[in-house]
Amino acid sequence: MAVQIARRLFTVTEYYRMAQAGIFSEDDRVELLEGEILEMSPISSRHASCVKRLNDLLVRKLSGRFVISVQDPIRLSDYSEPQPDIAVLKFRADFYSAEHPKPEDVLLLIEVCETSAELDRHVKLPLYAKAGIPEVWLVDLAHNQIEVYRAPSAQGYGESQTLGRGQTLTAQLLPLALTVEEIVG
């Protein structure tokens, strides 16, 4: 006999109410993915360094034309609000002060992983594709490579490629080209 367990899924609104009630604080490393609150992996020094390096590169190359968002929420749906390491957003003079960016605001998402690759590939990527995020880069520090995902649909990304040292990534919707070495160090 199979046991059926009922799950209680949370909305983004309920998630913020929990934070306001002190159930968890802004400093807790959690994300809301498909109605579930997941604890995020600790950030290693190499991961943090890569995010800082990417931020510096992107600000230098794209400043004033796009908004570079670092580890901030993206509202994918009423049940998912991940915090990707980097998001390159359409420029808005208010820098999204009234609400978090939505999928239509995102031009490129970058997730840096060292120990979270499986979560990023099998949970976050399908959510990003379903939401219509046009391009995602998964920076795999464990293998010094970058996976590029494009052509989103409800079934996932239709195009993917993996680049290693000696190769250059060119963003689909941005005037941006970076080498793998520039990103992974």
Q: Is residue 146 part of a domain?
A: yes
- pLDDT, tens digit, 9 for 90 and up, residues 114-172: 888 888 999 999 999 999 999 999 999 999 999 999 999 999 999 999 999 999 999 99
Contact criterion met (CB below 8 Å) for 36 and 9: yes
**Half-sphere exposure (Cβ direction) of 149: Cα atoms closer than 13 Å:** 25
Quote the pLDDT of residue 4.
81
Q: Is residue 8 part of a domain?
A: no
Number of domains, the chain: 1
Contact criterion met (CB below 8 Å) for 168 and 184: no
Domain of residue 66 covers 42-184
* CB-based burial, 70-97: b 16+ in 10 Å, e otherwise: bbbbbbbbebbbbbbbbbbbeeeeeebe
Q: Which of 55, 31, 58, 48 is nearest to 127 (CA)?
A: 31
Q: Is residue 173 part of a domain?
A: yes
Q: Is residue 65 part of a domain?
A: yes
Q: Is residue 28 part of a domain?
A: no
Q: Is residue 108 part of a domain?
A: yes
Q: CATH code at 133? A: 3.90.1570.10
